[in-house]
Structure 1
Amino acid sequence: MRLPTVKLFSLRKYIKHHHFIGLRSVSALAQLKPFSSDSDSDSGAQNTSKVVQTLNRLQKKPNDALSYFEHLKKEGFLHDVRTYAAIVRILCCSPLNRELDSIFLQVIRKENNIDFEVKDLLEALYHEGWDSFDRVSNAMVKAYVVLGMYDQVIEILFQTAHHGFVFSTSSYNFFMNQLVHCGKVDMALAVYQQLERHGLSSNVYTYVIVLKALFKKGCLEEAFEVFNKMEKVEVIPNEFTYSTFIEGFCMNGGLDLGHQFLRAWAAAKIPLGVFAYTVVIRGFCNENRLEEAERLFLYMETQGVVPDVYVYSALISGYCKFGNISKALALHNEMVSKDIKTDCVVVNLILKCFCQLGRVSEAVHQLKEFKEIGIVDNISYNVVVDALCKLGKVDEAVELFSEMRDKQMVLDVVNYTTMIYGFCLQGKLVDALILFKEMKDKGHEPDLITYKILAVGYARCNYGQKAKDLLNDMKKHGLKPNFARDNMIIEGLCMGGKVNVAEAFLDSLREKCLENYNAMFNGYCHAGYSEKAFQFFMMLSRQGFLVSKGSIFKLLNSFCIKGDNSKAVMLLDKMATLNLEPSKIMYSKLIGAFCRAREMGKAQLVFDFVISRGLTPNLMTYTMMINGYRKVNCMKKAFDLFTDMKQQGIRPDVVTYRALFNAHSKINLKSSSSS
């Protein structure tokens, strides 16, 4: 794209050096009126020259200069590119960074009838022989980024390169980093390519940003090339470079490779910070490889890297995620004993884990302990209040909620909604509505979840019309269209065991849509009406309606759990005809259900169906099939499956071998008894 020629300014012909009487204060400066009764251009130029001269005299008093500049603006003086250049020069030599940014924002927005462009201001500064361009370029780029005007930055950055002056590397780095942060990765890489093309210098931070961009795109080979290029151009990688490289591989499925790099660089005595270790430890924790995570944690300490709250948080999160609360607590105590300050993130992980394990009383006790050290927030309370409400311990939940009020904690919509949910579960609609009104009076607008909980509460108590009125109020707030309101009532009635009422409500709707049918289907599933759900699904499919795949999977899972395998097979077959492909997980669940019921003929049917769909069964599926055949004494088929599994490149684990060992033992027992 051909870029327009930049308009050139030279201030030398405008500025004359005269002795000017120094003014001691802003109030004195404000008395200067740089206006003339003459209307010709010569008098305007003289006024501008006087303003520039005054600003130049105030170079060592940036606050006074800025006050004078702003005062003139309020008095109606029309600043031009020369006066703006003068104030920019002053601010660049001062600590007034925000004020400098504001000047550029004014120019970009064309405030106060500004009739020149940013590029004109840059030219004016450059042609005066002024060479402090780092502050200018940084401020300009920042202003454009604040306004989201990324294309304009690119235009100016590479236009100016043709006119003799170059922006600082830090400006390019800031711009590229913002682009990567905003998800404009391709644009960031394009800027880097332009940098390279123009022969502009790149530093270690430039390469770190480029690596981030490439890893976000999943371009691992290109990232390798950039990393290797740093050595060729003699840019020494720093801690951020190595950490970015390791993180990039971990987030692109290369956790083990990232771990190998970490170990190799640590062995080579390359300085690695705690962040590099945290990235790999978090990856291990997410994959339930907790022993490897802890080994790496211990190795990190032997390398002299001091753990921080983030690496402990990663480990505690991993143990909480997989239900090992005792280990999580031990790590937290260890962290505190090392004088590493805990935070609400770690505390809330522990509280959530207690609640998910059903150990709510311990969560309440732990909350009290955390309160004593002052590390709790709204989320901490909300986790425990929610768990208490679900257990029907609404009185205890109310106590905690009241405690939050007493401590003058700022309650939000989530806190109110959780407590409203607890009241609705207990059928205490009056209390729920009182709290609902309080929430609105406090200025908190209810969200969709709040309305849904109240609507379900009404529906459960057969207050259908009140539920409608409530959801009409929701519509006034613009949260959802009518079908969402009707869906809430249908699902709420079913969850309250009022399936017949829900069916009648659906029939009463003048206009029905697919979402309404989905709601009824989900309602049947929630209420445990699997047979009705199945018949409803079959009826809808005959009429050309398709309920969501997720809803069908719920029903399929329900049949598997109940052992209604024939219905499950029929549902699978119907899904295949409708091109609704189940996931491997659903197939695996169904196969597992058949194997537990020792219906290996049906299990083999589904297993073959999986293969016919072009899918490869996973290790768990093969193991279930092998164990299933062992239970029904079909040893040959068990061993045939084991052979097939290895041919598919699937490595057996200890569970698979245990199943085969049991099968082999049965064969030996039969042989010995017959001899």
Structure 2
Amino acid sequence: MWVSSNKLLSSRKYVKHVSFIRLYAVSALAHLNFALSNPIEELQTIDTHEKNLVTNHFVEKDKVKVVETLKYLRKDPVLAFSFFNQLKENGFCLDPHAYAAIVRILCYWGWDRKLDSLLLELIRKERDLDFKIMNLFEALAEGFESECSNILVRVSDALVKVYVTVGMFDEAIDVLFQTKCRGFVPHILSCNFLLNQLIERGKIDVAVNIYRQMKAFGLSPNDYTYTIAIKAFCRKGSLDEAVDVFREMEECRVTPNAFAYTTYIEGLCLHGRSDLGFEVLQAWITAKIPIDLFAFTVVIRGFCNEMKMKEAENILHDMEKQGFAPDVYMYGALISRFCMVGNLFKALALHDEMVSKGIKTNCVIVSSILLGLSHMGMASEVANQFKEFKEMGIFLDKACYNVVMDALCKLGKVEEAVALLVEMKGKQMVPDIINYTTLIGGYCLKGKVFDAWNLFEEMKKNGHKPDVITYNVLAGGLSRNGLAQEALNLLNDMETQGVKPNTVTHNMIIEGLCIAGKVDDAETFFDNLEEKCLESYSGMVSGYCEADHTKEAFDLF
């Protein structure tokens, strides 16, 4: 029953500032002719509890009036959206028509982000709803015909985008088919977004099938759509079909963009046809077709991957004669590959050439050079080169620091390596598990297992969960330094933390114990292994050899 107006006025204090929900209640009650002589004055005296009672009674009595009220508040979107949220917070079960009403308001005012947020919320709790999301389209279709089509398109576009963002591709595709069945066409940009994300997630065949059906949807592909299709066919290795897309563009009088040409060249290079990719690039340059500079980078990388270093280097120098300036990415591709093949002289020469042209180096190139030196066993040179790069003011990332830490550890300069860890922290760089593992290994090599253990504990304290590599390094260090029981305890800790020991773990312990002279402990550990494989036997044979037990090694072999 309604509480009388006089009783409300006598039992509640006057409230000066009226909340959005109260304003809604005033508008709603006035609109629906509730039996209050003066709704504004009387509701200004109602507290939060009684506001909810009034609203609760209103909603439960007639849900249709929720929709009518939202329509009434269309020109006040802040008020409408605020009250809509209040209804949800109070646990009211809103139907598709209520959602359709607020969606119309969001579309009318162009509140796209709030629309996306609302649809995402619906997707996440669809199982708990009394209706399916597709019912929302039916409710929206009951509006004015003039605005209905536009709203349906906007909602379908937003729904496709949200579904794709959360990885629900099947549902996103269903929306496309639903729009076709309902007689309207989604925006081409939504389809492009769906196609591109499908390709990036490896669902290339699905993307190709949708592309082929787009005309059946009544959609006209634009230049970006065609570019995405070229990318899909190139990823599949269907290079002839990619060429067919160019022909289709010509027939439809759509001019390919620079990215389309680069995408096709990249497809050729990815499939071992860098020579053809370069020929196509030269032909298009001759034909005055606008080419993105990245096309040169693609071809250079292609030749580098095919180990055709001379051809890659020739492109770098010849392109300048054609009026194109090489950039850091082209030099970076060449320098990295020369480092990988051990030609450090050439890599450093190219780096000097690049810097002399005013092209600033970066941490990716620096880490390639440092790694190349490390792989060549030039630990001292790694440390020296790192110092030079640092003095040049180049930003050095965690990967660069890790290479030099490893080099210093190999040189027995563990404390200097640890000092770099402190330096990283001073530069607001958070050390990762790789940095910690490198230093743990360095301490173990120096026999400072307790320092290694302390660093291991620090790593865990800082939120880094040790992986199997970290455990292996520490287990090997404990074993080599005669701490057999501690190594076995660490093995138990691994299993407790859900990290499964592998054959490397077992071999590190076996060989470590043998190096420490505890052959009997190594034999016991080996005999107690539940499953022995070739690597397990190899580890024990190697351990025997390390301990000069050659007869036992031969017998086990």
TM-score between both structures, scaled by the size of structure 2: 0.81
Q: 2:136 & 2:552 partners in 1: Cα distance?
A: 70
CA contact (8 A) 2:482 2:516 kept: no
Partner of 2:23: 31
Where 2:530 maps in the other structure, the secondary structure is coil
Please point out which of 518, 525, 528 is paired with 2:535. Answer: 518
Matched, 1:99 2:91: no
Distance of 1:482 and 1:247 partners within structure 2: 39
Distance 1:287 1:463, change over 3 A: same
**In 1, Cα distance between the equivalents of 2:389 and 2:260?**
38
Matched, 1:218 2:233: no
Letter in 2 for 1:173: N
Query: Which residue, out of 397, 401, 406, partners 1:381?
Result: 401
> Matched residue of 1:350: which SS?
helix
CA shift digits 1:224-280 (9 cap, x unpaired): 333332222322211111111111111112221212111111121111112211111
Query: Residue type of the partner of 2:247?
Result: N
Out of 332, 336, 341, the position equivalent to 1:313 is 332
Q: Residue 248 of structure 1 corresponds to which residue in structure 2? A: 267
Deviation of residue 92 (structure 1)? 3.7
For 1:475, the equivalent position in structure 2 comes to 495
Q: What SS is found at the alignment partner of 2:136?
A: helix
Structure 2 CA distance for aligned equivalents of residues 533 and 82 of structure 1:
82
Matched, 1:49 2:68: yes
TM-superposed CA distance for 1:140, in Å, is 0.6
Distance change in 2, residues 1:398/1:147 (3 Å): closer
1:169 matched residue in structure 2: 188
CA displacement, residues 291-343 of structure 1 (integer Å, 9 cap, x when unaligned): 21122123333444443332222122122222333443344344445554433
**Amino acid corresponding to residue 278 of structure 1 in structure 2:** T
In the alignment, is the contact (CA less than 8 A) between 2:383 and 2:407 conserved in 1?
A: no
Distance in 2 between residues matched to 1:502 and 1:178, nearest whole Å: 55
- Residue type at the aligned position of 1:413: I
Q: In structure 1, how many angstroms separate the alpha carbons of the residues matched to 2:270 and 2:422?
A: 43
Deviation of 1:37 after TM superposition, in Å, equals 3.8
In 1: Cα distance, 2:110 partner to 2:314 partner = 48
Identical columns (%): 47
Aligned residues: 506
In the alignment, which residue of structure 2 is the partner of 1:459?
A: 479
Aligned to 1:596: none
How far apart in 1 are the matches of 2:196 and 2:555?
53
Structure 2 CA distance for aligned equivalents of residues 533 and 184 of structure 1: 55
- CA–CA distance in 2 between the matches of 1:291 and 1:127? 68
Look up the match of 2:82.
Answer: 67
> Residue 199 and residue 535 in structure 1: after superposition, are their counterparts in 2 closer, same or farther (change >3 A)?
farther
Q: Aligned with 1:194: secondary structure?
A: helix
Per-residue deviation, 1:166: 0.9
Matches within 5 A, 1:547-626: none
| Helix, strand or coil at the partner of 1:57 | coil
The one-letter amino acid paired with 2:457 is: K
Superposition deviation, residue 169 in structure 1: 1.1
Q: Which residue in 2 is equivalent to 1:89? A: 104
* Alpha-carbon displacement from aligned partner over 1:462-515 (angstroms, at most 9, x marks no partner): 322221111111111010058775344224446x38695576235531x53133
CA separation of 1:301 and 1:532: change in aligned 2, threshold 3 A: farther
1:117 paired to 2:135:
no
Alpha-carbon shift at residue 455 of structure 1 (Å): 1.0
Please list every run of 5 or more consecutive structure 2 residues that lacks an aligned counterpart in the other structure.
Answer: 1-16, 29-54
Ranges in structure 1 where 5+ consecutive residues have no aligned partner: 1-24, 540-675
Deviation of the 1:106 alpha carbon = 2.0
**How do 1:198-347 residues align onto structure 2 when only pairs under 5 Å count?**
198-336=217-355, 338-347=357-366
Structure 2 distance, partners of 1:443, 1:393, is 27
Look up the SS of the partner of 2:256 in the other structure. Answer: coil
TM-score computed with the length of structure 1 as normaliser = 0.68
Over residues 374-400 of structure 1, what are the superposed CA-to-partner deviations in whole Å (9 max), with x where a residue is unaligned? Answer: 501221111101122123332432332
Displacement of 1:39:
7.6
- Say if 1:274 and 1:311, in contact at 8 Å, map to a contact too: no
Provide closer, same or farther for how the CA distance between residues 295 and 89 of structure 1 changes in structure 2, counting only shifts above 3 A. Answer: farther
Match of 1:429 among 449, 472, 480: 449
Q: State which of 413, 419, 435 in structure 2 corresponds to 1:393.
A: 413
**SS, match of residue 411 in structure 1:** coil
SS in 2 for 1:221: helix
1:503/1:106 CA distance change after superposition, 3 Å: closer
1:501-552 Cα offsets, whole Å, 9 max, x none, are 576235531x53133x422314546868999899679x7xxxxxxxxxxxxx
